[in-house]
Chains A and B, each alone.
Chain A
């Protein structure tokens, strides 16, 4: 019978931990719902870049405001996730965070034309960029995933900017995406979700190249030295 007692305590203890885990997940899910609400708003606002050149500036400003709102959400998330267990619960915010990385990188690209670094994106979300034994951070793979989404969006933008007779943007996009493409080739990707996402990149690159090519054979590109 004494074994019985030990076994009993083992199982009650375990069930208690399971229940605790359920509660954590519930809390995290609720916060993620709020964060993704903001995410949807940003996504909608930034769609303007595909049809209205003048809307880009104000859209970026609005997006920046919303990122601050997202920051509050991430602060709450940081509280809700137990210290050591970032990767245990990661699935809950993973795709949301990837999308945020994409939108932040897009906003920064629209504003300045440069690549947002891992640190910058993490800073805008108000979380750490460094992976430590404990604590909340921006996972490097999520950041990369965001960049790959950015390339797809820019490929679309290249097409749409030609439609509204902006012949410079595709060249700029082409240069930027080519650089990212070269960068991604440096990475030793495993056969995982990131790798799958990376495989899409070549189609984005191709799409952009075709736009630039069409512009060049129709003589719509600016003088070569201006394009660089």
Chain B
């Protein structure tokens, strides 16, 4: 290497005259580029591909956000069921909204990724899917008492698209990882549900929900070497503790509004759903 310009920054001022000539050299070679050079043509083509990829990613992020927001609202609606009678109406409403979600943004994701590798854009859509799984499993557990399994969820994500009189099948791919992470979040919702049901006097619901949370926690304990799940495990553990404390209080102090809230001031009946925000840790 020749001397001048070796320490780029330090010598910039001092080497000014030579820098001028240097840039002349640079400019000359830049100007020598023909407009129709094959290399530039190649890069123009690549630029199109990269931009298409980025745009697709952005669109997916948007869709994913839509799914997240709507799923959170569905969960909120599911929490609003206070009595057995209100339950049916709430479930119908939630079901409607889930169907709309499926045929709206979730289907759009499937169409968006129809010809592209899904794993490339996994990060764009994962949060939306997790939230959706949370809402969907919560709905299933309230409607049927069972948690909908991964293959069943995946099956709901198959759509038939009609275009130019031709029908074709479009599948929105969701990973089992997303499903499991959504299920981990479900424990938080069930915990809230259980505690709410204490305050509305449905002690049976509370004990059931408690058992489901326990079962899920047991399952997560058995999963090895998955770092995403490990991170959620602590939250799940907290949820188990909270729900078990609630059931304990129920047993020891007898069921009744306000009684379970160990350290809290006696709460009126209806404080539960209205006071709860999106915040998972609310107790």
Task: List residues of A whose CB falls within 8 A of some B CB.
Answer: 2-4, 6-11, 13-15, 17-18, 22, 84-88, 114-115, 117-118, 131-134, 140-141, 144, 159, 174-175, 178-180, 182-184, 186-190, 203, 205-207, 209-214, 216-217, 228
Contacts and interface: CB of A to CB of B under 8 A. Distances in A.
B37 A179 contact: yes
B81 interface: no
B147 A7 contact: yes
Contacts of A188: 47, 50-51, 54
Between A132, A159, A189, A209, the greatest number of chain B beta carbons within 10 A of the residue's beta carbon is seen for A209
A186 B117 contact: no
Interface stretch (B20-28, B239-247, B257-265): B20-28
Contact of A86 (B42, B47, B119): B119
Q: Which of A118, A190, A213 has the most CB of B within 10 A?
A: A213
A10 B50 contact: no
The 10 closest A-B CB pairs, nearest first, are A183-B43, A87-B119, A11-B219, A87-B120, A178-B29, A179-B39, A88-B119, A7-B215, A214-B2, A186-B47
A190 B51 CA distance: 10
Interface string B78-120: 0000000000000000000000000000000000011111111
Given A22-B225, A133-B115, A209 B25 contact: yes
B25 A8 contact: no
Nearest to A175: B29
B30 interface: yes
B215 A4 contact: yes
B250 interface: no
12 contacts: A8-B215, A11-B220, A86-B119, A131-B120, A133-B114, A134-B117, A182-B39, A186-B40, A209-B29, A210-B2, A213-B18, A213-B25
Contacts of A17: 176
A117 B114 CA distance: 27
Given A15-B222, A228-B32, A183 B42 contact: yes
The DSSP consensus for interface residues of chain B is helix
Contacts of A214: 2
B170 to A, nearest CB: 11
A115 B39 contact: yes
Given A209-B22, A209-B25, A183 B223 contact: no
Contacts of B4: 210
B39 A85 contact: no
B28 to A, nearest CB: 9
Contacts of A133: 113-118
A77 to B, nearest CB: 16
B232 interface: no
B37 A3 contact: no
Contacts of B33: 178-179, 182
Contacts of B142: none
A171 to B, nearest CB: 9
Contacts of B220: 11
A133 B29 CA distance: 41
Nearest to B223: A15
A222 B50 CA distance: 40
Contacts of A178: 26, 29-30, 32-33
Interface string B105-137: 000000001111111101000000000000000
A187 B54 CA distance: 12
Interface in B201-245: 211-212, 215-216, 219-220, 222-226
Contacts of A184: 43
B14 interface: no
Nearest to A116: B42
B274 interface: no
A3 B2 contact: no
Contact of B43 (A131, A186, A206, A209): A186
Contacts of B1: 159, 207, 210
A210 B39 contact: no
B226 A18 contact: yes
B173 interface: yes
B16 interface: no
B145 interface: yes
Contact of B219 (A8, A18, A211, A213): A8
Given A3-B145, A133-B117, A209-B26, A13 B39 contact: no
Nearest to B51: A188
B117 A86 contact: yes
Nearest to A171: B29
Given A118-B46, A186-B43, A14 B223 contact: yes
| Interface core residue of A10, A88, A188, A209 (most chain B CB under 10 Å) | A10
